[in-house]
A and B are shown apart, each in its own frame.
Chain A
Amino acid sequence: DAGITQSPRHKVTETGTPVTLRCHQTENHRYMYWYRQDPGHGLRLIHYSYGVKDTDKGEVSDGYSVSRSKTEDFLLTLESATSSQTSVYFCATSTGALQFFGPGTRLTVL
């Protein structure tokens, strides 16, 4: 597996607070992704990055922003968390057409 870590692994927060999730990779992959996983929905793409400071929206980007200042780090920010953003968040990186996934962050918004 690619060296992908996510932090924190678990977080409980309150509605209206900002939250930042971090994804760190050691593989020097150019592409990085943020997905959310919800029961009955599979994985849905939030944002992705195709290089440092190059990002684009995915299927469910509303309420989320991302930043990538270094190849190895991809941050996902919820500016003002809502209960509908309670989910498991997975980061992924890709080389060619293959994607490799991180361990996930379980976020609960009360």
Chain B
Amino acid sequence: AQSVSQHNHHVILSEAASLELGCNYSYGGTVNLFWYVQYPGQHLQLLLKYFSGDPLVKGIKGFEAEFIKSKFSFNLRKPSVQWSDTAEYFCAVNLPMNYGGSQGNLIFGKGTKLSVKP
């Protein structure tokens, strides 16, 4: 079965520090990749997505992620974090329907909590 691994359970940074959150997935074929963010007490919001094309994708709020197919990775980065980035971040994968996936069914990692100290 496909799985998604997020390497860090909890990351603590000071404001202006750089961020990189790791995500690896287990499926060897074509995948769609996502990062979602959940601010305290709120629902999940899409941060960015990768379907195809340029492996470096830019999302909202200055976040970006790089898809490295050879490493089965989709790491999230931000050059300079802010206190308002304190949230939980989830990496997710789904398989395109013509590759055996069910429409939209997402497989989530367990999440990484980011705490940014002001």
A interface vs B, CB < 8 Å? Answer: 1, 30-31, 33, 40-45, 48, 50, 56, 58, 90, 94, 96-104
Contacts and interface: CB of A to CB of B under 8 A. Distances in A.
Contact of A90 (B43, B96, B105, B109): B43
A77 B7 CA distance: 34
A45 B109 contact: no
Contacts of A96: 104
A43 B90 contact: yes
Contacts of A99: 46, 104, 106
Contacts of B32: 97
Chain B's interface size range is: 20 to 34
B18 interface: no
Contacts of B108: 42-44
B43 A50 contact: no
B8 interface: no
Interface string B36-51: 1000001111100101
A98 B46 contact: yes
B103 interface: yes
